[in-house]
Amino acid sequence: MGRLVVDLSDRFAVSSWSLHRALGSTYPYKPADQAYPARQPTYGKGTIELIDVPQQCADHGIFRLEICSFHLPSLLPGYLGDFRKAMEEAGVKLQTLLVEDGDLSNSETAQRDAEWMAGWIDVAVALGAENMRVIAGKAQPTDSALTLAETHLRWLAELAAAAGVRLVMENWFDLLPGPTEVNRILDALHGKVGLNGDFGNWERDDKYEDLAKIMGRAELCHAKGRYSAAGLDAEDYVRCVKLSDAAGYQGPFTLIYDSTYHQDEWSGILEERDCIANVFKENAA
């Protein structure tokens, strides 16, 4: 019998959020303010620049990356081209551009925010992103708020698809507090918008049952580990991975490390990767 080999090269991604302390700075782009944002030392001075991240991913054996919009220091064509070149040289795919502001469910600002989000499609294309994740909404999930979000998501999805980018949303914020609301929007949009499921956004008693009702429809997954003073809650993490697998999820797991337990963020990222990889290997055996 030969040694069991499981190819996991395309099953993992890293979000720039997982390196937010190493990056330090943010650039808070907002639909309410079209001025170019000044650099903010939000998480400290930082030790790396965003353009360093693709090679760091490759050096750690991870070949998919997601970028938070607020980590982009420039939207000028020259910088976007340089970043795309850095991705290509590292052999890393840009899985998703995460647009980190806007609300498509607020009747007073939804049109403005949708138009602002549409402007990010050109950025996604310039970077070579496969997907663009937007915030569906932050309003309470009334019928009118959900319908408004559906209308704007449909429009954005058609624009993105025409540009070769897949639009996805996430089970996040007040508009999408549970599987009923998530599935309603997915049903209404008939496949035009994909789902990025997130393990950490529904932290409550029935989160496993609720995640199981959406992860079979997810195309992407934010695999956020729950950390405490004792370290990674491996029981919770493994349970989320297994329920996703049982639901039929077959996409990549984006490793979301959001803790100070490990001083070096890569240590936390790789701990999460190894935890998931062990589940895959057990299943293969």
For residue 6, what pLDDT band results from cuts at 50, 70 and 90?
Answer: low
Question: If you average pLDDT over residues 13-39, what whole number do you get?
Answer: 96
| 3: pLDDT strictly greater than 50 | no
pLDDT computed for residue 285 by the predictor: 76
- Give the contacts of 137 (CB within 8 A, at least 6 positions apart): 103, 104, 105, 106, 110, 145, 146, 148, 149, 173, 174, 175, 176
Domains and CATH numbers, the chain: 12-205 (3.20.20.150)
For residue 8, what pLDDT band results from cuts at 50, 70 and 90?
Answer: confident
Task: Identify residue 229 by its one-letter amino acid code.
Answer: A
Q: Report the first-to-last Cα separation within the chain, whole angstroms.
A: 12
Q: What is the pLDDT of residues 227-240, one digit of tens each?
A: 999 999 999 999 99
| 95: pLDDT strictly greater than 80 | yes
Question: If you average pLDDT over residues 52-78, what whole number do you get?
Answer: 98
pLDDT computed for residue 42 by the predictor: 97
Alpha carbon distance 62, 55 (integer Å): 10
C-alpha dist (Å) from residue 58 to 14, 51, 93, 254: 11, 13, 10, 15
Q: What percent of the chain has pLDDT over 70?
A: 98
Q: What is the pLDDT of residues 172-228, one digit of tens each?
A: 999 999 999 999 999 999 999 999 999 999 999 999 999 999 999 999 999 999 999
| 4: pLDDT strictly greater than 50 | no
| 250: pLDDT strictly greater than 70 | yes
Q: What is the mean pLDDT of the chain?
A: 96
For residue 66, what pLDDT band results from cuts at 50, 70 and 90?
Answer: very high
Q: Which two tokens stand for residue 177?
A: 């507090």
Q: Which two tokens stand for residue 75?
A: 């939207």
pLDDT computed for residue 9 by the predictor: 79
| 127: pLDDT strictly greater than 50 | yes
Question: If you average pLDDT over residues 240-250, what whole number do you get?
Answer: 97
pLDDT computed for residue 165 by the predictor: 98
For residue 128, what pLDDT band results from cuts at 50, 70 and 90?
Answer: very high
pLDDT computed for residue 1 by the predictor: 37
- Please list the residues that pair with 170 across neighbouring strands: 196
